[in-house]
Amino acid sequence: MKKENIVLDKSFEFALIIIDLFRRLKEEKEFIISKQLLRSGTSIGANIQEATAAFSRKDFVHKMSISSKEARETRYWLRLLDKSKLTSIDVGQHLEKVENLIKILTKIVKTSQENK
């Protein structure tokens, strides 16, 4: 039986949401921020996936730290979309989801560093 990985599952679900948001932004002719958002928003889960195959605790912390940074970058692009009014799409719920991911990733990184 496959072991459940909550942060991996949440980041995968978030990536799917970001892909959908990217499509909707392109329909509204927003091409610049949408690409940045797509890259950072899907990179969160990709780095978590890599961390699951880390060859050491240091490598694990490094990959999870990158994931945390990507989540923070994603938050930036979402906030920029929200405040700039470049689109009519409400990104508030996406901001909540990325904040949740940031909290989880921060806790994982801190706990992993403390348990060295």
Using the predicted structure, report yes or no on whether residue 45 has a pLDDT greater than 80: yes
Decide if 39 is inside a domain: yes
In a domain, residue 1? The reply is no
Q: Is residue 40 situated within a structural domain?
A: yes
Residues 63, 54: contact at Cβ < 8 Å? yes
Kindly report, residue by residue over 4-39, the tens digit of the pLDDT. 899 999 999 999 999 999 999 999 999 999 999 999
* pLDDT tens, position by position, 61-96: 999 999 999 999 999 999 999 999 889 999 999 999
Q: How many domains does the chain have?
A: 1
CA–CA dist 23, 57 (Å, integer): 37
Per-residue pLDDT, 96: 97
What residue numbers bound the domain in which 46 lies?
6-114
Q: Is the pLDDT of residue 1 over 60?
A: no
**CATH of residue 37:** 1.20.1440.60
Residues 95-104: what's their mean pLDDT? Answer: 97
Q: How many Å is the maximal CA-CA distance in the chain? A: 48
